[in-house]
Amino acid sequence: MSLYCISDPHLSFSCDKPMDIFGDRWQDYVAKLEKNWKETVGEEDIIVLPGDISWAMNLNEALEDFGFINALPGKQKIIVKGNHDYWWTSRSKMERFFEENSLTTLKILHNNFFPYDENYGICGSRGWINEDGKVHDKKILDREAARLEASILPCVESGREPIVFLHYPPLYAEEICNEVYDVLKKYNVKKCFYGHIHGASYRYAIDGVYDGIDFRLASCDYLEFVPIKIF
């Protein structure tokens, strides 16, 4: 059983939202994602998708996108909220929708964690962006930091090391989202995967070890639509 990650698939089977306007890498991206996923991920593996899953505005509109992911290899596809996941609602409603539509491999990561094995746990939250020179929404930052802690704490209490998945980068160029970053340091997180960053913005992304944490950008286009293997 291996653990993989890929973020920001931006699926739109039920709505007209082409992604090729964001660069050449997005040409025929669904076919590339499907091919590479099938060649990389096994049926017993787990894959985490840290946000921007579907452009849909509600759960019913996202059903075809969910069905596409559900049919791909992997026994669990663990989903984190992204800034464009407007279909997102309460965890109980989403889990009920998945059950009613036989989306058996889809799982929601929201104020909870999933064991990977006896040593590691899968934790995460959407996070938030904290840009220098802009007014920060303190309420949202504090809430996202609390959600991340609510995910990590039970993982640590179970004796597992947390592997963290965020949609927003906790640091970008010279900017640090201190509220989220402090939680990572508090719990001695060693691995953090994130998405949200595309195109020309790659050059400012932290993709490597910083301050003892291995940060990895996992956006689909950055990975050329090949899921990144963690373990």
Write the pLDDT tens digit of every residue in 189-229.
999 999 999 988 999 999 999 999 999 999 999 999 999 99
Angle separating helix axes 91-100 and 59-71, nearest 10 degrees: 60
N residues, the chain: 231
pLDDT score of 132 = 52
pLDDT score of 135 = 53
Q: Does 22 score more than 90 pLDDT?
A: no
Q: How far apart are the C-alpha atoms of 191 and 187, rounded to whole Å?
A: 11
Long-range CB pairs of 37-44 (<8 Å, 24+ gap) are 37/6, 37/72, 37/73, 37/227, 38/72, 38/73, 40/4, 40/226, 40/227, 40/229, 41/2, 41/4, 41/72, 41/73, 41/74, 41/227, 42/2, 42/73, 42/74, 43/73, 43/74, 43/75, 44/1, 44/75
Q: Determine phi and psi for 168, rounding to 5 degrees.
A: -80, 145
DSSP assignment letter at 160: P
CATH code, 3-229: 3.60.21.10
Tokens of 16: 């007209």
C-beta atoms surrounding 28 within 10 Å = 10
As a whole number, the mean pLDDT across the chain is 94
| Residue 133's pLDDT band (cuts 50, 70, 90) | very low
CB 198 within 8 A of CB 9: no
Tokens of 75: 């026994």
| Residue 130's pLDDT band (cuts 50, 70, 90) | low
What is the average pLDDT across 84-106? 97
Q: Does 131 score more than 70 pLDDT?
A: no
Q: Determine phi and psi for 45, rounding to 5 degrees.
A: -85, 165
Question: Tokens 């996941």 map to which residue?
Answer: 85
Q: In the chain, what percentage of residues exceed pLDDT 70? A: 96
Residue 135 three-state SS: coil
| Residue 139's pLDDT band (cuts 50, 70, 90) | confident
Angle formed at CA 25 by CA 166 and CA 78, multiple of 5 degrees: 30
